Amino acid sequence: MKTIALLPDRLWDGTADQPALGQAVLVRGRKIEAVCPQGDIPADQEVHRLEGCTLLPGLIDAHVHYSPVMGPAFLAAGVTTIRDVGNDLESILALRESHRRDLAAGPGIVCCGYLLDGPKAYWPAMGRPHTDAAALRAAIRHEVERGVDAIKFYAGMDLELLRSGVEEAHRLGKPTLAHLGEIRAEDAAAAGLDEIQHLTGCGAAWQKSSAAEMDALIDCFLAEKVVMTPTLVVWDRLGRILDLSFAHDTRREWVHPTLLDIWTRYRSRFGPAAGRLRFQEPVPSMKICLARMQERGLTIALGTDTPFPHLFPGFSVHDELALYVDGGIKPVDALRSATSVGARVLGLELSAGRIAPGRPADLVAVRGNPLERIEDIAQVECTFRGGRLFRPRQLLRAARSHYDRQPEEAIFRDLLGYVNGTR
């Protein structure tokens, strides 16, 4: 294996307050061999110059419902790791393994298996229903035996069922996360839940709240060490599902035609305006509350809920970052949520989210400096996954190679059932 030196204008390691200048990253095989001053590179060293670019750790999307037709788009956006939070169990386990072997297939995968729901599974292909604690505990044991990385609970659960599921998952050494329905976030935190998705159950985030009201919620989360994965972008997109700007977004070329059709026929497009306004109205309050959470030191991981309407696989990570900054979070803190902090939340502290010797060479080079202008994160020059170089145009050809087949993964079955009215 030969060593290649990457020479960017700026290097951000995933944790520092500012990017470093004049640094090189030496990549050998799939690993980072060293980080050193560019002046220390031997004259005969093979180099890859990234002029005008900032080199960052590969980005992490901690909330995805994955299909392999999305793989090239994630890599093109600089996303080298995802967490699938609801899918057919055997399918996502197989994809996790195939992506470990085939770096070109898409990002590395952390997975939760099925959405574990209450008495009725809202998404029948991705989810499984459970009427009592015994059934839920048995399902968790099965998923852990099969090798999932975490356990995901869904909105149909009541508090007692959730509590029993959290206890069983923790007994087996697995972290827990949930999309809450009627359960208050404070009660879920007291029940031991590790991570909340979408700001669900967080009343203070969904309405205009005083600092004291927000702090009461945050105090509860800090005391219980709860992680927040807010996915602001999904609420923004569901609220603006009729916004014509999305119809003209050039990133649509990365989206499978079946998914574009689903977005066009998504049922909330045709319902009364109140259904859309209930997402539009609270988004500013969510931004304010999230910025308060960041200021208070709550752990925030970045996720998107791809591929719901107008969530472009991979590229919606850039949109989520911009929403954080728009709400008052510093660009560097937003970027940490998608790198080093996200890696810690996913249990990947030693294998993702940072640029350091011995770690996998999962990297993204972007033109400009996203620590000053967060929108520069969208100017992807190239992505490295396991030391292998990928360029967006090359990846677009790979994405289009999937467009002549009908995807059959769980997320497509559920979304088609939703828009066709058959589920």
**d(C-alpha 149, C-alpha 238), whole Å:** 29
Q: Which residue has the tokens 């007994």?
A: 171
**d(C-alpha 78, C-alpha 34), whole Å:** 21
Q: Are 202 and 176 in contact (CB under 8 A)?
A: no
The SS3 call for residue 417 is helix
Among left, alpha and beta (phi > 0; psi -120 to 50; other), residue 278 is alpha
Q: Which residue has the tokens 């004291």?
A: 212
pLDDT number for residue 423: 83
Q: Are 67 and 109 in contact (CB under 8 A)?
A: no
**d(C-alpha 5, C-alpha 24), whole Å:** 6
What are the residue boundaries of the structural domains of the chain, listed by start?
1-57+355-390, 59-353+396-420
pLDDT number for residue 33: 97
Q: Answer whether 0.75 is exceeded by the pTM.
A: yes
Tens of pLDDT along the chain (423 residues) come to: 899 999 999 999 999 999 999 999 999 999 999 999 999 998 889 999 999 999 999 999 999 999 999 999 999 999 999 999 999 999 999 999 999 999 999 999 999 999 999 999 999 999 999 999 999 999 999 999 999 999 999 999 999 999 999 999 999 999 999 999 999 999 999 999 999 999 999 999 999 999 999 999 999 999 999 999 999 999 999 999 999 999 999 999 999 999 999 999 999 999 999 999 999 999 999 999 999 999 999 999 999 999 999 999 999 999 999 999 999 999 999 999 999 999 999 999 999 999 999 999 999 999 999 999 999 999 999 999 999 999 999 999 999 999 999 999 999 999 999 999 998
Give the H or E element holding residue 139: helix 133-146
Find, among 108, 110, 88, 86, the residue nearest to 98 by Cα. Answer: 108
The CATH number of 1-57+355-390 is which of 3.10.180.10, 2.30.40.10, 3.30.2130.10, 3.90.1150.10?
2.30.40.10
CATH number of the domain located at residue range(s) 59-353+396-420 in this protein: 3.20.20.140
**d(C-alpha 363, C-alpha 80), whole Å:** 8
Q: Sign of torsion, CA 45 46 49 50?
A: negative
Q: Are 235 and 219 in contact (CB under 8 A)?
A: no
pLDDT number for residue 321: 98
Lay out the sheet containing 227-229: strands in order across: 127-128, 115-116, 151-153, 176-178, 195-197, 227-229
Find, among 383, 415, 419, the residue nearest to 123 by Cα. Answer: 415
| Residue 112 CA to its chain's centroid (Å) | 13
Q: Are 229 and 175 in contact (CB under 8 A)?
A: no
Q: Which residues pair with 178 in a beta bridge?
A: 153, 196
Q: Are 339 and 60 in contact (CB under 8 A)?
A: yes
- The encoded tokens of residue 1 equal 């294996």
- The encoded tokens of residue 416 equal 């088609």
**Size of the chain, expressed as the number of residues it contains:** 423
Q: Sign of torsion, CA 327 328 329 335?
A: positive
